[in-house]
Amino acid sequence: MKFTLSWLKDHLDTDADLQTITDKLTAIGLEVEEVVDPSAALAPFVVAEIVSAEKHPDADRLKLCQVSTGTETVQVVCGAPNARAGLKGVLARPGDVIPATGVKLKTGKIRGVESQGMMCSARELQLGEDHDGIIELDDDVSVGVSAAEALSLEPVIDIALTPNRVDALGVRGVARDLAAAGIGTLKPIDAAPVSGTFDSETSVAMRLSGDTAHLCQHFVGRTIKGIKNSESPQWLKDRLTAVGLRPVSAVVDITQYINIDLGRPLHAFDTAKLSGDVGPRLASDGEKITALNGNDYTLTDAMLVISDDVSAQAIAGVMGGESSSCTEETTEIFLESALFDPITIANTGRALGIVSDARYCFERGVDPASTIDGAEIATRMILKICGGEASHLAIGGAAPDIGATVSFRPTRVGQLGGIAITADAVQEILKRLGFAIGNAESEAWQVSAPSWRRDVEGEHDLVEEVLRIHGYDAIPVEPLPRPAVAKPAFTDDQRRAGVVRRALAGQGLSETTTWSFLSSAHANLFLEGSAPVVLENPISSDLDVMRPSLLPNLIAAAGRNAARAMPDIALFEIGPRFEGSSPGEQTLMAGGLRAGQTSPRHWDTKTQPADVFDAKADALTALKAAGVQTNRLQIGAAAKAGAPSWYHPGQSGTLCLGPNVLAEFGALHPLTLKGMDVDGSMVGFEVFLDRIPKPKRKSGPARAKFSPSSFQPVERDFAFLLDEDIAVDDMIRAVRSANKTLIASVDLFDVYAGDKVEQGKKSVALSVRLEPVQATLTDNEIEDVSHRIVAAVEKAVGGQLRK
């Protein structure tokens, strides 16, 4: 909301300077967003008079003007239709910077004639939208004075209003709040009834009833006849222009002015264009209206209109209709002032996409007492500026009693605010804000809110009012009582996710953050037929489905990087995947992706494309960091608990604890990558962090006793011949099971399939380390373990020891 200092001072008697006022506005919750001083940009411009205006010798539309600044006369070529001798306007001279364009003016030749300056339009000086002609100043302005002075330009204050500040919708409300905060005193306002001289021919027809009656409880209006609706006086035009509005005609300008001044929207209909009586009703479904902005709107039966006997003449509380709008020919008007339901106005404005000052006020909640007061103040102004004669006020309904009476314990100010403010001071602040206080001797006061405080519902609202006006700055800082030594802030699960994050980064993957949504085309590649979780109103069709997996966004990210000539990439993300559209239907995942080579080309190492074992290592790193004993994991592959279909069927797997799949990994299926329109091969993994068993904390942080063996460990190598389709992991498990106390580790060091072994077989060589705990192993004991290992492998996977 914008206003100027002099406008504010119409309502506020104060000597405070601009800085004091703007600081206070921010301190009481009317945040000053910006103070714009247009005079600064206009400093070089002066008032000049066109002495003569001749036709340009070489162009029909241009004029050759001699322009006087009092001290000099310059020649200006001007294309404005209103350029004429005797006009006083604003002259820009060579070297001056035109505010609207930022361009420095130069002497130039226009159609062969030199132009030593430019007569400016309002738009060029950023004083308004008008660019139909050059600025015309009043005749009594002196030539040669600064344009800023002549245009009575002053700083414009722009404040941001929070939705609750219904009381500060107008300049007067702002003045009232400042007065309450000790900046000056609020001036009285004359809202006395204008005595009408006749009954309004157009009367009010309340066409709402029953359960819709509350949508417009009060509707008043009056006829004003014999008016002259010409241009507004300069001061009124200046004020509207200063706050960014475009003057139209006196009557319209006055309604705009009252809207800004008092936060009271009004509308004036040209009675010559009305048929019968006027009043509120619900629109019929499909009803059409052309609004003042020239656009056609189709209404629904949830919208309010102001209608005459025949058709809708305005979208109530939002925008007037074109057909009954006032023009300069208008001589008789029906001035309307009404109170509309905020929610209905908000919904209508949103549905139709209309932003207007009236809607802004009504959807927050206009002061119900201003319906009549606003009409009277506006009538007085119209009679003064446009002449004419006013009728009695026609009234439909009555002002609802909105100001609440609230039980208020002044002690709550100190309890919630943490500041000692005396009861007297509390009372003083509330009174200055317009509240009436009863029962002031008791513990709980009865505080009645003024009509303009529709937002006040309870005690907490009054606490806020007192603290706000007293000032948040005055609240003393008091440290929050805190524990001597705090407990951990993270739960075990949260801590685990943090460790996984750092472990994966340590593994060489870079963390990224991608959207929780993606395109349905990409999502479908990761759904295996289950239903996508779609958004009803996505930001774009590329982001219309909640992600079923972390991989597609990572794949797309790798693709984007490849397009930037960075094809070798390792990324991970920790975040949710979504399984359904209800709260909780999501799983926290750690997902990672590698594309291209695992390392750059190097003189001493071979580059290698990322393969399934990189993805498996990444998954194991994450699981280990999450506290999983990775040697207990079973590996699912192919038909037996294999990875989902977006992976390469022969180069992928899962990591499980029994039936609980903790991770999936593998090379991505080429068709999946093709579907995502990325090139090359990629490998990835996803760990289901939410599925990992909770850490057991039975015994506290103490570790098991450290008891290293003092006996010589023994290493023995074995080579087995297995069927090629046997999973080596099954064989290793069999080896381990041969003697769980003695076998400390099993390391696989060779896998061979080829000429030297039977077709369909592979040779697997491993090294077994035996660590005795009670005595050094004898040859017989070693022999015994070896036999058990060979037997276990044979039994479990049919492997034969190679001799």
Question: Could you say which residues in the range 157-196 bind other proteins, by CB under 8 A?
Answer: 162-165
Look at the block and give the residue holding tokens 């035109």: 98
Structure tokens at 629: 């004993």
CB 489 to other proteins: min, Å:
4
CB 345 to other proteins: min, Å:
10
Residue closer to other proteins, measured from CB, 513 or 699: 513
According to the binding rule CB under 8 A, does residue 505 interact with other proteins? Answer: yes
d(CA 718, CA 716): 7
According to the binding rule CB under 8 A, does residue 673 interact with other proteins? Answer: no
According to the binding rule CB under 8 A, does residue 600 interact with other proteins? Answer: yes
According to the binding rule CB under 8 A, does residue 513 interact with other proteins? Answer: yes
Maximum Cα interatomic distance, the chain, rounded to a whole number of Å: 128
CB atoms closer than 10 angstroms to residue 220: 22
Contact (CB, 8 A) for 354 and 294 = no
CB 400 to other proteins: min, Å:
18
- Edge-to-edge strand list for the sheet holding 714-723: 743-752, 761-770, 714-723, 800-801
Listed ranges 186-194, 244-252, 500-508, 721-729: which one lies at the site for other proteins (CB under 8 A): 500-508
According to the binding rule CB under 8 A, does residue 211 interact with other proteins? Answer: no
According to the binding rule CB under 8 A, does residue 603 interact with other proteins? Answer: yes
Look at the block and give the residue holding tokens 């998954």: 619
Q: DSSP characters for 598-614? A: SS---SSS---B--HHH
Residue closer to other proteins, measured from CB, 249 or 344: 344
SS3 category, 124: coil
According to the binding rule CB under 8 A, does residue 564 interact with other proteins? Answer: yes
- What's phi and psi for 350, nearest 5 deg? -65, -45
Residue closer to other proteins, measured from CB, 119 or 361: 361
Residue closer to other proteins, measured from CB, 477 or 704: 477
According to the binding rule CB under 8 A, does residue 470 interact with other proteins? Answer: no
Residue closer to other proteins, measured from CB, 598 or 767: 598
Listed ranges 296-304, 489-497, 634-642, 768-776: which one lies at the site for other proteins (CB under 8 A): 489-497
Which helix H or strand E contains 33, and what residues bound it?
strand 31-36
Listed ranges 5-13, 124-132, 183-191, 464-472: which one lies at the site for other proteins (CB under 8 A): 464-472
Listed ranges 195-203, 496-504, 667-675, 693-701: which one lies at the site for other proteins (CB under 8 A): 496-504
According to the binding rule CB under 8 A, does residue 552 interact with other proteins? Answer: no
Q: DSSP characters for 416-447? A: HH-S---HHHHHHHHHHTT-EEE-TTSSSEEE
Exposed/middle/buried for 290, CB within 10 Å: 0-12, 13-18, 19+?
Answer: middle
CB 28 to other proteins: min, Å:
6
Listed ranges 117-125, 280-288, 595-603, 633-641: which one lies at the site for other proteins (CB under 8 A): 595-603
Q: Which of 519, 561, 709, 767 binds other proteins (CB under 8 A)?
A: 561
According to the binding rule CB under 8 A, does residue 476 interact with other proteins? Answer: yes
Residue closer to other proteins, measured from CB, 27 or 753: 27
Measured over the CA atoms of residue 355, residue 359, residue 364 and residue 370, the dihedral's sign is: positive
Residue closer to other proteins, measured from CB, 697 or 740: 697
CA R_g for the chain:
41
CB 344 to other proteins: min, Å:
9
Contact (CB, 8 A) for 738 and 716 = no
Exposed/middle/buried for 252, CB within 10 Å: 0-12, 13-18, 19+?
Answer: buried
Query: Residues binding other proteins: what is the number (CB under 8 A)?
Result: 101
According to the binding rule CB under 8 A, does residue 560 interact with other proteins? Answer: yes
According to the binding rule CB under 8 A, does residue 566 interact with other proteins? Answer: yes
Task: Enumerate residues 327-386 that contact other proteins by CB under 8 A.
Answer: 342-343, 346-347, 350, 363-364
d(CA 431, CA 448): 10
According to the binding rule CB under 8 A, does residue 276 interact with other proteins? Answer: no
- Edge-to-edge strand list for the sheet holding 46-56: 73-78, 59-68, 46-56, 88-92, 118-119
CB 699 to other proteins: min, Å:
24
Listed ranges 82-90, 121-129, 497-505, 762-770: which one lies at the site for other proteins (CB under 8 A): 497-505
According to the binding rule CB under 8 A, does residue 458 interact with other proteins? Answer: yes
Give the 3-state DSSP-derived string for 284-351, with helices as H, strands as E and coil as C. CCCCEEEECCCCEEECCCCCEEEECCCCEEEECCCEEECCCCCCCCCCEEEEEEEEECHHHHHHHHHH
What is the pairing mode between strands 533-534 and 545-546? Answer: antiparallel
CB 492 to other proteins: min, Å:
11
Provide the residue count of the chain: 803
According to the binding rule CB under 8 A, does residue 490 interact with other proteins? Answer: yes
Q: Which of 386, 433, 504, 678 binds other proteins (CB under 8 A)?
A: 504
* Closest-CA residue to 225 (of 292, 270, 194): 270
d(CA 533, CA 459): 44
Q: Which of 70, 193, 387, 506 binds other proteins (CB under 8 A)?
A: 506
According to the binding rule CB under 8 A, does residue 426 interact with other proteins? Answer: no
SS3 category, 525: coil
Q: Which of 188, 479, 701, 760 binds other proteins (CB under 8 A)?
A: 479
According to the binding rule CB under 8 A, does residue 604 interact with other proteins? Answer: yes
Contact (CB, 8 A) for 14 and 183 = yes
- What's phi and psi for 720, nearest 5 deg? -115, 150
Residue closer to other proteins, measured from CB, 212 or 347: 347
Listed ranges 95-103, 302-310, 581-589, 639-647: which one lies at the site for other proteins (CB under 8 A): 581-589
d(CA 759, CA 21): 93
CB 684 to other proteins: min, Å:
14
In whole angstroms, how far apart are CA 489 and each of 493, 589, 590, 685, 692? 11, 21, 21, 29, 21
Q: Which of 70, 498, 650, 695 binds other proteins (CB under 8 A)?
A: 498
Half-sphere exposure of 644 (CA within 13 A, CB side): 17
According to the binding rule CB under 8 A, does residue 775 interact with other proteins? Answer: no
According to the binding rule CB under 8 A, does residue 407 interact with other proteins? Answer: no
Which helix H or strand E contains 254, and what residues bound it?
helix 250-262
According to the binding rule CB under 8 A, does residue 487 interact with other proteins? Answer: yes
Listed ranges 5-13, 156-164, 188-196, 277-285: which one lies at the site for other proteins (CB under 8 A): 156-164
According to the binding rule CB under 8 A, does residue 586 interact with other proteins? Answer: yes
According to the binding rule CB under 8 A, does residue 517 interact with other proteins? Answer: yes
Q: Which of 133, 233, 576, 627 binds other proteins (CB under 8 A)?
A: 576
Q: DSSP characters for 722-779? A: EETTS-HHHHHHHHHHT-TTTEEEEEEEEEE-STTS-TTEEEEEEEEEE--SSSPPPH
Residue closer to other proteins, measured from CB, 162 or 776: 162
Task: Enumerate residues 25-44 that contact other proteins by CB under 8 A.
Answer: 26-29, 31
According to the binding rule CB under 8 A, does residue 524 interact with other proteins? Answer: no
According to the binding rule CB under 8 A, does residue 606 interact with other proteins? Answer: no
Q: Which of 139, 210, 477, 703 binds other proteins (CB under 8 A)?
A: 477
Which helix H or strand E contains 172, and what residues bound it?
helix 171-180
Task: Enumerate residues 619-638 that contact other proteins by CB under 8 A.
Answer: none
SS3 category, 663: strand
Task: Enumerate residues 681-740 that contact other proteins by CB under 8 A.
Answer: none
Q: Which of 240, 546, 628, 738 binds other proteins (CB under 8 A)?
A: 546
Listed ranges 121-129, 293-301, 493-501, 698-706: which one lies at the site for other proteins (CB under 8 A): 493-501
